Chain A
Amino acid sequence: MSVFTLKVNGRTHSVDVDPATPLLYVLSDDLDLRGPKFGCGLSQCGACTVNIKGQAVRSCVTTVGSLDGSEITTLEGLGSPERPHPLQQAFIDEQAMQCGFCVNGVIMTAKALVDRTPNPTDAQIRQAMATVLCRCGANQRMFQAIRRYAQANAAGRTA
């Protein structure tokens, strides 16, 4: 066991865990965050995705010991039901989910994409989503929500 200091959603936490513990377990169980989800533990579905340094990172295969102290952002770090982030609002407006279990991975992957590629083409969205999985088949709406956010975001940048 070792003590690690994690910056998550603007707050600093100390946890005493085995360095080999995947970040997902610390976020879910030590910090009680509900955004990142265990889907496969194999980096095959994206449900556990968080953002670190602008990248979509799969927390189920990222050990706590490998982190460099950078700020970690989870789904609840973007916004709240009362004040959703514009990307979350786009998913609400488009009703872009069914069970909603995968939506953490979809939104956090899309956030990282649009942060580095402000107005992505459909091909770029597809590439970013190549290994993100939704089993309910809300794909059409999720794409629409991402496009809606990206376009508004790009318009805002040029305005």
Chain B
Amino acid sequence: MISPSTRRDFLKQSGALIVSFSAASVASDLGFVTSAAAQGINGNPGTGLDSWLAIAADGRVTAYTGKCELGHGLFTAQTQLIAEELSVPLDRVTLIQCDTALSPDQGTTSGAQSHPANFNNANLALAGATAREALVRLASTRLGVPVDQLSTKDGIVSAPSDPSKRVSYADLVGGKTFDLRLDPNAKRKPPSTWTVLGTSVKRLDIPALATGRFEFVHNVRVPGMLHGRVVRPPAVGANLISVDESSVRGMPGLVKVVVKKNFVGVVAEKPWQAVQAAARLKAAWSPGTALPPQRTFYDHMRRSPSRDALTVNSGDVDAKLAAAARVVRSTYLYPYQMHASIGTACAVADVQGEKVTVWSASQAVHPLRATMAMMLGIPPAGVRIVFRMGAGCYGVNGADTVSYDAALMAQAVGKPVRVQLGRQDEMAWENYGLAFVIDQRVALDADGTITAWDYEGWSPSRGGRPGANAPGNVVTGFLAGFPPQAVTPRTPAPPPQGGFENGSNTAPSYVTGCVGPECGGCGVVKSERVLNRTVDSPFFTGPLRSPARLQNTFAHECFMDEIAASVKADPIEYRQRHLRDPRLRNVLAAAAKAAGWDARPSPRAGVRRTGVVTGRGVSCVLYEGDNGYCANVTEVEVNQDTGVIAVKRCVVAMDSGPISNPDGIRNQVEGGTLQGIGRALQEEVTWSADRVTSVDWRSYRPIYLGAEIPRIESVLINQSSGAAMGAGETAITVAAAAIGNAFFDATGVRLREVPFTPERVKAALQRR
């Protein structure tokens, strides 16, 4: 299973040579505020066609991508893309993904950026189009037929008017380089002509997954490989005082106890031996730091020094609020949640001096290469990171940190080491999704129309993705002595500048979003102020599927529902009244129509105060302000005696531009919605005085397969003339608000704190 050691060797085998490479610096992704561009999510992949595509002597196409499969079907969709643009059968395409020695540096596979990055007129799609045009030009010369009289099919260029005029790609360039740059004017095939892209091609990896042949990173085996196990501190902030190696001396298979500042691990010949030695190892630690009590954590956030940023500020919000016929205000609360992947994180590392290979499920192989070199104290030139899929990650789970774990131990023993984290090691120390406190106020005129919107939100931050230079942003780097990216307080916030940037959906859909002369918001409310305050977090934080966007959308969309209810307006009609973006209006209307929306104000008339009641709610978003439209109509049943909310039906309308694989999007809508329901109803990180206490599936509550789940119906809007947008994080963003709004419709009670547990629901109903 050892991959070829260099891209050059690999390409000799596949029949071509490469041209361009870049070692782009990639900024860290704090998971909020900044745009994909500002975060450097998409790297700097270069424009040499040969770094994206090669055609072998036998006509097989090898394509290289820096955006990798995370369980969302991207591997298959990118294979479809190349097959389509190059006019070759799907099974003639080999896709090489995310290997620092082979694939272009496309930064991080995250933020629902892969579809926009590789399926529009750039990068992988443009490589396909550029190559196809180049092949047609070569064929024109070879066949003596004008370019406009040639067509491509099944890897052959031919003249439809003369069957004798035909030549295969293999005959044109097989085994040779193109020596071309990506041509920004190369013409993509129009979606109306697609035969492979845009169809529900079945996932190419599922047969291997369903039968146990698929190689996850967990299955990587290299000769002479040993097994490591980490020993994390017992409490947050505890420092290592001493390790008693005699406590494990003589244990079977033990190879070495590895210590580097606060990092402790044991290496053994076999994994179970490593597990046992790690459990037996005696280490003395200082007491942890006192954690802010969970009960009052939201107030703690409000009181903490903050780094303030304004998304928009029209300057007249206070005046409008003072002059309003009425002001509506509310506070929404959102807890820390975790990625909690089904498989704990795993990596295999081989460190031989300055030559390093790490098999990793990181979403960010090129950035990881840079920080791995920092961790090991060696130059990055000899470091190769090879992506192998891990369990679904949904953001920065333990994949990066365990890559450091494996590398530190491999460096210490001089042999390849595989590390898989224990359940508690992963859950107690991962980079949690952000908690939030959000205060909002609106001014209403005499007609009940919103005239001003004021948002002030607090969220905690510590670390995040390691990016190119901050290994301390995840726990292992921190334990080994690197600081996490810190919050530098800054109050007051400087005025917003450089255009409307709503990558974290801090601004609601209903404002105009004007910064300078440009207005990028989806709505009509001109008086607008959106102030986000970032405070220090006691725990590591990082992007968790729809980071900040989900939390903000929960607050915006529930609050919008409150406002509509306060003026006795239908929730959808009231939203439409304040929206100007036609595509957002369209997904709302499409979801309403498909769901058979019962147009009337909420709550429904004659709400009973006991027993089971039903309601419907809605929410919508333009994800990241520019990356996918979504609306969700949800129906719930509430048992007012037990406090249990049963979500019965979700109708989700999506518009993410041209659809690359309809069934793939449906799978994302269903999974995203269900994950969103779990996060809305059940999931919450908990902690005691000095440590995290949600460390397994009893203390962190997931939706098991045995649970009753709603019928989830997708309404896919194929906007074939638009740009390709994100589709993987959109549906999850709107789930919690739709449930909260449906609950209000059913009961007349507003839930303002996630998760909506039965205890919290009963308490809210009792306050009615």
Contact = CB atoms under 8 A, between A and B. Distances in A.
Interface of A: 1, 17-18, 21-22, 25, 28-29, 32-35, 37-42, 44-45, 47, 74-76, 78-81, 84-85, 88, 91-92, 95, 97-104, 106-107, 126-143
A85 B213 CA distance: 13
B703 interface: yes
Identify the 10 closest CB pairs spanning chains A and B, nearest first.
A99-B71, A35-B212, A137-B674, A100-B209, A99-B392, A130-B706, A75-B212, A129-B705, A137-B671, A101-B391
Contact of B671 (A35, A39, A41, A138): A138
B202 A38 contact: no
A41 B212 contact: no
Given A37-B216, A47-B342, A132-B705, 8 more contacts: A25-B272, A37-B343, A78-B211, A81-B213, A92-B202, A95-B206, A98-B667, A101-B71
Contacts of B252: 1, 18
B479 interface: no
B706 A136 contact: no
Contacts of A100: 71, 205-206, 209-210, 214
Contact of A126 (B213, B420, B673, B708): B708
B265 interface: no
Contacts, number: 187
Contacts of B389: 99
Q: Which of A17, A92, A128, A142 has the most CB of B within 10 A?
A: A92
Nearest to A80: B211
| Among A32, A80, A99, A138, residue most surrounded by chain B Cβ atoms (within 10 Å) | A99
A132 B207 contact: no
A102 B208 CA distance: 13
B176 interface: no
Contact of B212 (A76, A130, A138): A76
B339 to A, nearest CB: 8
Contacts of A141: 667, 670
Interface of B: 70-73, 202-203, 205-216, 218-219, 221, 227, 252, 270-273, 340-344, 389-392, 394, 420, 422-423, 663, 667, 670-675, 678, 696-698, 702-709, 711-712
Given A95-B667, A98-B392, A139-B674, A133 B705 contact: yes
Interface of B (DSSP majority class): loop
A40 B423 contact: yes
28 contacts: A18-B272, A25-B270, A34-B213, A34-B219, A38-B344, A40-B696, A47-B342, A80-B213, A92-B202, A97-B209, A98-B72, A99-B70, A99-B71, A99-B342, A99-B389, A100-B205, A101-B390, A102-B342, A102-B391, A126-B706, A127-B706, A129-B706, A133-B702, A135-B342, A135-B394, A135-B675, A140-B709, A142-B705
Given A25-B270, A102-B342, A136 B705 contact: no
Nearest to B72: A98
A38 B674 contact: no
B207 A84 contact: yes
A156 to B, nearest CB: 20
A104 B708 contact: no
Most buried by B among A42, A97, A143: A97
A1 B422 CA distance: 24
A79 B219 CA distance: 19
Contacts of A106: 705
B271 A97 contact: no
Contact of A140 (B221, B271, B341, B712): B712
B705 A135 contact: no
Contact of A137 (B343, B678, B697): B678
Contacts of B674: 137, 139-140
A39 B344 contact: yes
A41 B423 contact: yes
B232 to A, nearest CB: 15
A92 B343 contact: no
B221 A32 contact: yes
Contact of A98 (B219, B272, B671): B671
Contacts of A97: 71, 206, 209-210
Contacts of A17: 270, 272
A28 B215 CA distance: 12
A88 to B, nearest CB: 4
A42 B696 contact: yes
Nearest to A146: B705
Contact of B206 (A22, A25, A91): A91
A1 B251 CA distance: 12
B712 A104 contact: no
B704 A92 contact: no
A107 B210 CA distance: 8
Given A138-B667, A142-B705, A40 B213 contact: no
Contacts of B391: 39, 99, 101-102, 135
